[in-house]
Amino acid sequence: MKSDIKKALYEAVIILLRPLVKILLKNHVPFRAFSNLAKHVYVDVALKEFGIPGRKPSVSRVSILTGLTRKDVSLVKNPPASVNVEALDRYHRGTRVISGWVRDSRFWNKDGQPADLSIEGKGVSFNELVKRYGGDVPPRAVLDELVTSGAVERIGESDLRLVTHAFIPFAKETDKLQILGTDVRDLISTIEHNLHSTPDQSFLQRKVSYDNLPAEILPEVREEAVQKGQALLEELDRLMSRHDRDANPSSGGTGRKRAVIGIFYFEDDVKLDDKEEGHERS
């Protein structure tokens, strides 16, 4: 690796690790635990993605690729950390149900908005919504998830109202941490793809950023980001759902592809250097 590329990569790793290390320290995860997890991932990626076609991966080759000793490679070939499939299923299930409520006209009111739904009953009901979009799970389980997250509220004894068009599992911190893994993975995977692709094959990766905004303007920016970002995601959701075989079994085509489109907003205080601070004070 060229020295300038290695330097840029190291600097990028330091930047992206800072918020991750902050989360780790807040949750009392020591460096040794992080180091052990990193070893497992190094070995796992080397075994699965950097093998030589037609040859069985060897401990020696993984040791050379990762810089770990043969002993370390042998000890960490079976990663202890696994994806929390149950948490991911809850997240995707909640998202699918809300998405169906928003885009399926059968569950709209006369104004073309998501209707208040009775929990049970024939025809248009929450149970029917879950049957169509929630998979093979009890409607009550989905209802509890959506109510607890604040996405749905009860109206009286038997009716429900959609409060937000997005499902965020506020109730369980473990679920939110699972999203940390999947969403950041997708963003970094996009960047990794773009590093080695031609312009016509690159994935969408855009942002707008300013570092000298007055604090008073941020509420307006946040509100605009939420409204326009949500509207764009709902439009794209309608496009993708028409061709998704789970939501639309009659959809044809070949292969099985996964596509992700994400929007995020972030703000923080700009840390002034000594020169800027002196200018500000003068």
Six-digit token pair at 227? 């409204």
- Alpha-helical runs (H) found in the chain: 3-26, 31-49, 59-66, 70-75, 85-103, 126-133, 139-149, 173-195, 218-241, 274-281
What single DSSP character describes residue 113?
Answer: S
pLDDT of residue 84: 59
Q: How many Cβ atoms sit within 10 Å of the Cβ of residue 104?
A: 17
- Mention every residue, 6+ apart, whose C-beta is less than 8 A from residue 36: 76
Pick the CATH number of 83-202 from 3.40.50, 1.10.287, 2.60.40, 1.10.10: 1.10.10
* Domain limits, the chain: 3-81, 83-202, 206-282
3-class state of residue 105 by DSSP? helix
Strand partners for 114: 108
pLDDT of residue 179: 78
pLDDT of residue 250: 85
Instruction: Say which range, 35-39, 134-138, 142-146, has the weakest mean pLDDT.
Output: 134-138
Query: Does the pTM of the predicted model rise above 0.85?
Result: no
3-class state of residue 120 by DSSP? coil
- Which tens digits make up the pLDDT trace of 42-66? 999 999 899 888 888 889 999 999 9
